[in-house]
Amino acid sequence: MKIGFIGYGNMAAALASRWAGAHELRIGGRDPAKAAALAEQLGHGTRHGSGAEAARFGEAIVLATTHQAAFAAMDAAGGPTAFAGKVLIDINNPVDVAAGDFVPKTYEGLSLAEAIAARAPGAAVVKAFNMCQADVWRMDPPVFDGRKLTVLHCGNNAAAKAQVAGLIREIGAEPVDCGELKYARSLEAAAGLVIKFIFAGRGPHTVLNLILPAQA
């Protein structure tokens, strides 16, 4: 699969490092030097360029900016048409950690993921990977108390969710489909609690991990 990343911070680096070599990657953003540095770090033929180039390149696109920059990054990448027909993965949480406020911001009652979907109506938006800090995604595999990490995700497009579930399995975790994209409101709220715990002094590997029934 071709995966474009818009953003080159810790979360982008952690997730991209788990898929480099298995997929074709392109790192993009407003700072070409930072995009190039991450691409070089990842190796495996990872390309780099602008956000627009990452959006054109990817069959799946990971929106890995800060939540404050998400909509501006989408506009810079080409606006709604740049994401049409793509799987758009929102990994962010709209919490104001600088102010110590871990209750997620809403957008006229919508989650960040729903607001992103409204901004890019032709994309298949999937909320995923927002429940853990970057250090968790660097674990190979992410296992807690002998159990695989469960990764909650949601979206309105079944085929897009199946693709994201495959990416989750590739990092050694267990995907759990929460349902339609409206459940991103719950995922962002749950992530706010995890982030609050981390900023209160718990380690970066703090997670909420479901115990799933054994599969027959």
The Cα–Cα gap between 14 and 155 comes to 23
Strand duo 60-63 + 2-6: pairing: parallel
pLDDT in tens, 34-69: 999 999 999 999 999 999 999 999 999 999 999 999
| 85-105: average pLDDT | 96
CATH number of 2-199: 3.40.50.720
205 has a pLDDT exceeding 70 = yes
Confidence of residue 194 (pLDDT cuts 50, 70, 90): very high
215 has a pLDDT exceeding 70 = no
206 has a pLDDT exceeding 50 = yes
211 has a pLDDT exceeding 90 = no
Q: pLDDT value at position 212?
A: 78
Q: pLDDT value at position 213?
A: 76
8 has a pLDDT exceeding 90 = yes
pLDDT in tens, 105-164: 999 999 999 999 999 999 999 999 999 999 999 999 999 999 999 999 999 999 999 999
Contact predicate 13/44, CB 8 Å: no
Structure token pair of residue 124: 């298949």
Confidence of residue 214 (pLDDT cuts 50, 70, 90): low
Q: pLDDT value at position 216?
A: 42
| 176-187: average pLDDT | 98
73 has a pLDDT exceeding 80 = yes
Q: pLDDT value at position 37?
A: 98
User: 27: Cβ–Cβ under 8 A, 6 or more apart, which residues?
Assistant: 5, 8, 12, 16, 35, 36, 38, 39, 42, 46, 47, 48, 49, 54
In the block, tokens 């115990």 appear at 211
For the chain, give the mean pLDDT. Answer: 96
